[in-house]
Amino acid sequence: MALLDVRDLSVSYGSRVAVASSTFSVSAGEVVAVVGESGSGKTTTANAVIGLVPSSAGQILLNGTDIAGWSSRRMRAIRGAQIGLIPQDPANSLNPVKTVGAQIGETLRIHGVRLDVRSRVIELLERVGLGIEHFRKYPHELSGGMRQRVLIASAIALRPQLIIADEPTSALDVTVQRRILDLIDDLRKEYGTAVLLVTHDLGVAADRSDRLVVMKDGRIEEQGPTREVLATPSASYTKQLLHDAPALSARPFRAPVESEPIIVVRDLVKEFKGFRAVDNVSFEVRRGTTHAIVGESGSGKTTTARMITRFEKPTSGEVTIHADGAFRRNVQLVYQNPFGSLDPRQTIAEIVGEPLRNFKLGDRTTVAKLIERVALPSDVLGRKARELSGGQRQRVAIARALAVDPAVVVLDEAVSALDVSVQAQILDLLETLQNDLGLTYLFISHDLSVVRQISHTVSVMNKGRIVESGTTSQVFQDPQDDYTRELLAALPVGVAS
């Protein structure tokens, strides 16, 4: 008998069906990954299992007992004791006014543990790699990886039979992601805990799960042993996901291009109140190529990009852009979050047309051509940003950047917030635009899988310094620095090769 047996589960929000007739199971000690894009129903399914959203129909059997339809009061006895939850966003899942120790201790007390709570909390902290010194700290004093470890400590406090991990590493750097996934795996082996892993990252699912459940539009497209699904997918949607996933693609490295440098950075330094965020950074980007700057949070890559785009003033050093005309016309920036960078009050036509008005270029026909160039239908011109999907908004941001015919486009984590298929479409679009227009890209990213696919050359940053530079194939296939090797080792199997 399976530990968790979900049969014909359906969940509706009003008239909208979020999950339709889903059936799958999880056995003791097994990792089952539920994968799919935003809106596929994977998180709703997980929330229904733990009773955070009510099911409309079907059964949720836990050790043979149907818990579907249980009241919140009855489910409170299950949560934590038999089913643990590791939520996606540690920043919003922890109480900012309570210490770490108090929050983990609360999990124990809710379920009747009264004796020696402090010792047990310290033991849990140590189990997830945090010392006793973290007991009295508040969430804001911890890094993202540390906060995620606190949530794991709470989830395993009562040694539940099943852990639901909802995108547990989506906001984490690659090395922190590996440590968190290793920790979950160690706990699974030690306690025999089953894991329901909800993720949009097929690389993580491929690397860490025993079985895959692929969801689309609230329905299960296919499921089976992970190796079999990856090797011989039967559903066309699964085939497309696997094709689009940078972590699983076997695309060749982009060949180096011999051209003159268009961006020259020399001895760049940026200090904030005595802290050196960027430390003597130098590199060149050749015209018509893509140069990636990679590194973890705090490495200095975004600060470097902001100095190149003149949104930050260097403490010392220089940046030279070899292009004719005004700087603001030649260097354009595309942000990570297109929704935050697009004026919600303006129509798409007004957003794309604004730089044309500022530089007294073009007209409505030019705007329409720009929208067509980024493969958007003409009917988006009259809409507002909130009416578009994330991928459509990012295309609008790219169209706006292209409006003034720049020589250089700086892309700061420009695809990190997108689903895998949308991400693939944007990357293909960027490559097509580069080939058609001769654009030069400076690509800022923490995602080495994407960097491998799109860049000609790479600089690896760590603690404000460039520790390694070279062609993408050189850096990925023959890394020289220990930090680069650590980053590549944290990737799912097959990505770095």
- Band the pLDDT of 496: cuts 50, 70, 90: very low
| Torsion over CA: 333, 334, 339, 344 (sign) | positive
CA torsion angle for 384, 386, 388, 394 (degrees, to 10)?
A: 90
For residues 191 and 306, state if they share a domain. no
Would 494 be classed as within a structural domain?
Answer: no
The percent of residues in the chain predicted with pLDDT above 70, rounded, is 98
Average pLDDT of span 377-387: 93
- The helix (H) or strand (E) run that includes residue 7 is strand 4-13
Residue at a domain's end among 198, 219, 244: 244
Rounded distance, CA 284 to CA 473, Å?
Answer: 17
CATH of the domain at 116: 3.40.50.300
Token output for 47: 């929330």
Supply φ then ψ for residue 103, to 5 degrees: -70, -40
Would 251 be classed as within a structural domain?
Answer: no
* b/e code 299-315 from CB counts within 10 Å (16+ = b): bbbbbbbbbbbeebebe
For residues 350 and 239, state if they share a domain. no
Please give the full DSSP string across 164-204, using - where no structure is assigned.
Answer: EEESTTTTS-HHHHHHHHHHHHHHHHHH--EEEEEES-HHH
Rounded distance, CA 249 to CA 327, Å?
Answer: 37
- Its domain, for residue 32, covers 4-244
Burial of 364 (0-12, 13-18, 19+ CB in 10 A): exposed
Nearest to 145 by CA among 272, 297, 279: 297
Q: Identity (one letter) of the amino acid at 81?
A: A
Supply φ then ψ for residue 128, to 5 degrees: -100, 15
Q: At residue 203, does pLDDT exceed 70?
A: yes
For residues 351 and 465, state if they share a domain. yes
Rounded distance, CA 121 to CA 132, Å?
Answer: 9
Overall domain count for the chain: 2
Rounded distance, CA 317 to CA 301, Å?
Answer: 16
Query: Does residue 239 contact residue 265 with C-beta atoms inside 8 Å?
Result: no
For residues 408 and 265, state if they share a domain. yes
- Band the pLDDT of 98: cuts 50, 70, 90: very high
- The helix (H) or strand (E) run that includes residue 76 is helix 72-78
Q: At residue 338, does pLDDT exceed 90?
A: no
Strand duo 275-286 + 408-412: pairing: unpaired
pLDDT digits (tens, 9 = 90+) for 476-488: 999 999 999 999 9
Lookup result for tokens 């982009």 = 254
Average pLDDT of span 315-341: 90
Inter-CA distances, 479 with 359, 375, 485, 491, 496, Å: 44, 37, 6, 14, 10
Rounded distance, CA 22 to CA 45, Å?
Answer: 8
For residues 18 and 161, state if they share a domain. yes
pLDDT digits (tens, 9 = 90+) for 260-271: 999 999 999 999
For residues 223 and 285, state if they share a domain. no
pLDDT digits (tens, 9 = 90+) for 132-177: 999 999 999 988 888 989 999 999 888 999 999 998 887 778 888 8
For residues 126 and 179, state if they share a domain. yes
Would 254 be classed as within a structural domain?
Answer: no
For residues 378 and 277, state if they share a domain. yes
Lookup result for tokens 């949009």 = 200
Angle at 234 between CA 230 and CA 236, to 5 degrees: 100
Lookup result for tokens 């809106």 = 39
Give the predicted TM-score (pTM) of the model: 0.86
Q: At residue 249, does pLDDT exceed 80?
A: no
- The pLDDT of residue 344 is 92
Q: State the CB neighbour count (10 A cutoff) for residue 27.
A: 14
Residue at a domain's end among 244, 273, 296: 244
Q: State the CB neighbour count (10 A cutoff) for residue 404.
A: 19
For residues 367 and 320, state if they share a domain. yes
For residues 229 and 190, state if they share a domain. yes
Would 250 be classed as within a structural domain?
Answer: no
Q: State the CB neighbour count (10 A cutoff) for residue 327.
A: 11
Lookup result for tokens 């005004």 = 326
